[in-house]
Structure 1
Amino acid sequence: MRVEDLSTYEIIEKRQIPDINSVTYLCRHKKTGARVALVSNDDENKVFYIGFRTTPKDSTGVAHILEHSVLCGSKEFPVKDPFVELVKGSLNTFLNAMTYPDKTVYPVASCNDKDFQNLMHVYLDAVFYPNIYKNESIFRQEGWHYELEGDNEELKVNGVVYNEMKGAFSSPDDVLEREIMNSLYPHTTYGCESGGDPEAIPELTYEEFLNFHRKFYHPSNSYIYLYGNMDMAEKLTFIDEHYLSVYDALEVDSEVTEEAAFTTPNRIVRECPIGEGEDEEENTYLSQNFCVGNSLDPKLYIAFQILDY
């Protein structure tokens, strides 16, 4: 069967791209509106990812905590940590998940078709049917929880993402990079810390965490990508029959808004940690920042990449 023969998807565009010896399709799942991009060629390294536009309204790190949590078991793969099992036993050439300021993506790749199919199945089940609704301890483990090591010890906050972000916030370079983006776009999702600010992470409740999944992890808000030498129609049929067709279309407000231009320059002073014995004067950063156009203008985007280089 060809992609053109599938009744559950609408082909928006089909194009040959000779530069990468590929036939590409932009498709839309008719029932849910899920967006699908296909790049068909003879590359044996097959790639799949599913992504969601996730636009947090605060710096509690809900998007990042959720990225960790959905990979802690699901309906069809109820083991405690399928991600670790896949790392140990799969033939994958790539396996990860990433949280960006405005999206969360789950990419996998493998040269073996059976292994690739299994990876795709595990990831789809993880994002749509995670065990987070049955098991609050996943949220506590990956996000944050209180911990008391001894009777006379101080009550501490602990958690995988909490500790990861404490490390990220201890680097002056990382603090500066975050401050630049947060201060340039203060009224948009880019004004929040999607990874989680350690001071704000303990404000996140279990119900807010679940609501974030309910809202954003829906096929109507998803982006699916397949690349390489495979039966594209077979993969799309599997994705539809096992996952997408179960859902109805939903209006998901995940819009990325634009920041209005400032009327005057803003000056921000922010402290960052330095090592014991390090000189403050030698570890002070000054940064002047501007927003120019947007990344959807390809010529301007490439021009500024060259200028930056």
Structure 2
Amino acid sequence: MEYKIGTNYNGFVLVREENIKEVNSIARIFEHEKTGARLLHMENDDTNKVFSIGFKTPPEDSTGVMHILEHSVLCGSRKFPTKEPFVELVKGSLNTFLNAMTFSDKTIYPIASQNEKDFFNLMDVYLDAVFYPNIYKTKEILMQEGWHYDLEKKEDELTYKGVVYNEMKGAFSSPEGILMRKIQETLFPDNTYSNESGGDPKYIPDLTYEQFIDTHKKYYHPSNSYIFLYGDMNLEKCLKFINEEYLADFDRKEIDAEIKPQEKYNSIKDVEYTYSISEEDDDSEKTFLALNYVTGRSTDEEVYMDLNLLEYILLVAEGAPLKKALLDAEIGKDVFGSFDGGILQPVFSIIAKNSDVSKKEEFRKVVYDTLNDIVKNGIDKKLIEGCINAFEFRLREADTGGYPKG
């Protein structure tokens, strides 16, 4: 079927259409006329039908409310009042993918199936969960998924428990996990990225039921959503279902979910944090040294791709010059990089593991000297070509590790 820009299709107005040959797809962007909800459709012959709905969810604190909501909305809803519909779907549906994920500034709910009836059922369960969850009538969901007091015996010490609370206690016990959280917290002191969206166990018990409900009311609205459809499917049937069963019940709403960019610093920030080790462990060579840079905006496609390549060239590829220089200088037992391009202002990190605090200035000097030498003399062309070829091969192969391509 031929679609026309500006035409309304079951409540959705087509805004843009483009043929993307690299992924053998026709991409269409729609806007829901009544609510302003955005929808991206990727039409192709992939038998895996994919649906996802996402919401901008910038955290205002580190109570983990966004993470707890992600768990909680899947604990029963208006149409599906069973206690754990997610578990029932895992056991009983024909899904090829089923999950929910909380990021630093957004929460998404993706599903996939090759069976059309199953696909629509999964879509129904997820849409009902995000818009009409049982959290409004069952306070115990917050206690179960977020936090509650726990006391097994009268003489025991009162403790906290909860699915997310326990999960984040585990996450905060990993030195690498702590490091990456502290990098983001330190680089973005003035905006939402300084908060832990997953929840800091220290602050999770500060979350009240009222805050929990207010957060859902504020962000889980079609006007703040982005819907994604991918694969070989009946588009008009999908649009009709999404509109008539859900979005048509809502009106357009102004929701402030924008993130204020972090202003540049006048000089480099030098910070130090500690993490726990067991009493039996020797604390020598347990230090992580990291140089971290905020690198423009994630919407700058060219810079984004360049930095992805640079991380691979400098710190991952065989013969990576920056990694080699740091290892040769014995700054640490291991050296690795990180490029986090999934946030408003991407972060490029150079990290030495199993080092010592006394090597901090030497670490900085080796990095600067190596980068200055690269700027002056360039990077070996064969290394660049090899890395570009590896990236291109990976993109063309679209190796998704067993998950549906969409």
Distance 1:93 1:276 in 2: 45
Q: Is the 8 A contact 2:17 2:29 kept in 1?
A: yes
| Matched residues, number | 309
TM-score, normalised relative to structure 1: 0.98
Q: Which moved more, 1:271-280 or 1:108-117?
A: 271-280
Q: Is the 8 A contact 1:141 1:160 kept in 2?
A: yes
Q: What SS does structure 1 have at the residue aligned with 2:288?
A: coil
- 1:146 paired to 2:149: yes
Q: What SS does structure 1 have at the residue aligned with 2:294?
A: coil
Q: Which moved more, 1:179-188 or 1:157-166?
A: 179-188
Alignment-derived partner of residue 130 in structure 2? 127
Alignment-derived partner of residue 81 in structure 2? 78
Residues 100-179 of structure 1: pairs in structure 2 closer than 5 A: 100-179=103-182
Distance 2:23 2:297 in 1: 26
Distance 1:273 1:115 in 2: 47
Distance 2:22 2:296 in 1: 28
Q: What SS does structure 1 have at the residue aligned with 2:291?
A: coil
Runs of 4+ in 1 over 4 A off after TM superposition: 1-5
Distance 1:278 1:46 in 2: 50
Which residue, 182, 185, 188 being the options, matches 2:185?
Answer: 182
- 1:286 paired to 2:254: no
Alignment-derived partner of residue 71 in structure 2? 68
Cα gap change, 1:7 to 1:115, in 2 (>3 Å)? closer
User: What amino acid does structure 2 have at the position aligned with 1:295?
Assistant: S
Q: Is the 8 A contact 1:171 1:273 kept in 2?
A: no
- 1:49 paired to 2:52: yes
Distance 1:17 1:2 in 2: 16
- In the TM superposition, what is the alpha-carbon distance from 1:7 to its structure 2 partner? 5.0
Alignment-derived partner of residue 303 in structure 1? 306
After superposition, the C-alpha distances for 1:277-303 in whole angstroms (9 at most, x for unaligned) are 222122111111111211111111111
User: What amino acid does structure 2 have at the position aligned with 1:258?
Assistant: P
Q: Is the 8 A contact 1:2 1:233 kept in 2?
A: no
Q: Is the 8 A contact 1:172 1:274 kept in 2?
A: no
Q: What SS does structure 2 have at the residue aligned with 1:289?
A: strand
- In the TM superposition, what is the alpha-carbon distance from 1:3 to its structure 2 partner? 5.8
After superposition, the C-alpha distances for 1:25-75 in whole angstroms (9 at most, x for unaligned) are 000000000000000111100100000000111000000000000000000
Q: Is the 8 A contact 1:3 1:232 kept in 2?
A: no
Alignment-derived partner of residue 18 in structure 2? 15
Structure with the greater relative contact order (CA < 8 A, sep ≥ 6): 1 or 2? 1
Please report the RMSD computed on the Cα atoms of aligned residues, expressed in angstroms: 1.2
Distance 1:289 1:275 in 2: 28
- In the TM superposition, what is the alpha-carbon distance from 1:264 to its structure 2 partner? 2.4
Cα gap change, 1:205 to 1:37, in 2 (>3 Å)? same
Distance 2:153 2:2 in 1: 64
Q: What SS does structure 1 have at the residue aligned with 2:39?
A: strand
Alignment-derived partner of residue 270 in structure 2? 267
Cα gap change, 1:69 to 1:2, in 2 (>3 Å)? farther
Distance 2:276 2:64 in 1: 21
Q: What SS does structure 1 have at the residue aligned with 2:144?
A: helix
After superposition, the C-alpha distances for 1:180-229 in whole angstroms (9 at most, x for unaligned) are 11111111111100000000100010000000000000000000000000
Alignment-derived partner of residue 233 in structure 1? 236
Q: What SS does structure 2 have at the residue aligned with 1:104?
A: strand
Which residue, 33, 36, 49 being the options, matches 1:33?
Answer: 36
Q: Is the 8 A contact 1:65 1:143 kept in 2?
A: yes
- 1:93 paired to 2:96: yes
Distance 1:299 1:24 in 2: 21
Alignment-derived partner of residue 223 in structure 1? 226
After superposition, the C-alpha distances for 1:232-275 in whole angstroms (9 at most, x for unaligned) are 11101100001101000000000021000112222222111223
Distance 1:76 1:285 in 2: 50
Give structure 1 stretches of 5+ with no counterpart.
none
Q: What SS does structure 2 have at the residue aligned with 1:268?
A: coil
Give structure 2 stretches of 5+ with no counterpart.
313-406
Q: Report which of the two structures shows the higher radius of gyration computed on alpha carbons.
A: 2
Alignment-derived partner of residue 280 in structure 2? 277
